[in-house]
């Protein structure tokens, strides 16, 4: 007799899911352009203060993306210590602003950050809908 498992080790492709943490009303600062994501907490703290000109101990989220735009890291100080969240896309790329003249960081609301983190799922869904609409004609 065969046993069937009721749990799956990985969610099916395209299965949505909420974000792991709630961002609350803390502002998010995106580091424009690529960042070397081999850096861990200490290196990213230096990036926040030296390159972005911001206080890493501020109640905020500091978001960094690599050159291929398939990984990002979110640094935050919660009062007791730093937290570092990493996201690696299996497919697709994040939409990321390039570094403009004089602009090292870009401020986003928590809702904008959540949209950015889910942007690849949204883009794939929109592309499927667009293809479906074309076939209907």
Cβ neighbours for 125, distance < 8 A, ≥ 6 positions apart: none
Residue count (the chain)? 137
Residue 15 within a domain: no
**Nearest-5° angle of CA 110, CA 111, CA 115?**
115
Residue 89 domain-assigned (yes or no)? yes
The predicted pLDDT at position 15 comes to 42
In a domain, 88, yes or no: yes
| DSSP 8-state class, residue 12 | P
Q: Do the domain assignments include residue 112?
A: yes
pLDDT value of position 1: 52
Number of domains in the chain: 1
Has residue 3 been placed in a domain? no
Tell whether pTM > 0.75: no
pLDDT confidence of residue 21? 55
CA pair distance 120, 122, nearest whole angstrom: 5
Query: Please, what are the averages of pLDDT over each run of 10 residues along the chain (137 residues)?
Result: 46 43 76 92 96 93 92 93 92 77 78 74 50 53
Distance between CA 126 and CA 128 in Å, rounded?
5
Question: What residue numbers bound the domain in which 82 lies?
Answer: 28-136
Q: Is 99 part of a structural domain of the chain?
A: yes
Residue 81 lies in a domain: yes
CA 137 – CA 131 distance, rounded (Å):
10
What integer pLDDT is reported at residue 12 of this predicted model? 41
Residue 19 maps to a domain: no
pLDDT of residue 100: 65
């Amino acid at each position: 007799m065969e046993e069937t498992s009721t749990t799956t080790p990985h969610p099916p492709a395209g299965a949505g899911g909420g974000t792991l943490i709630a961002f609350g009303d803390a502002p998010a600062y995106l580091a424009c352009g690529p960042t070397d994501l081999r850096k861990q907490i200490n290196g990213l703290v230096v990036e926040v203060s030296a390159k972005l000109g911001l206080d890493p101990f501020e109640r905020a989220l500091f978001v960094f993306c690599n050159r291929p735009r398939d990984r990002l890291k979110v640094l935050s100080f919660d009062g007791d210590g730093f937290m570092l969240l990493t996201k690696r896309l299996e497919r697709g790329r994040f939409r990321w602003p390039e570094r403009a003249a004089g602009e090292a960081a870009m401020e986003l609301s928590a809702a904008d950050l959540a949209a950015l983190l889910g942007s690849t799922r949204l883009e794939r869904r929109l592309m499927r809908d667009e293809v479906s609409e074309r076939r209907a004609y």
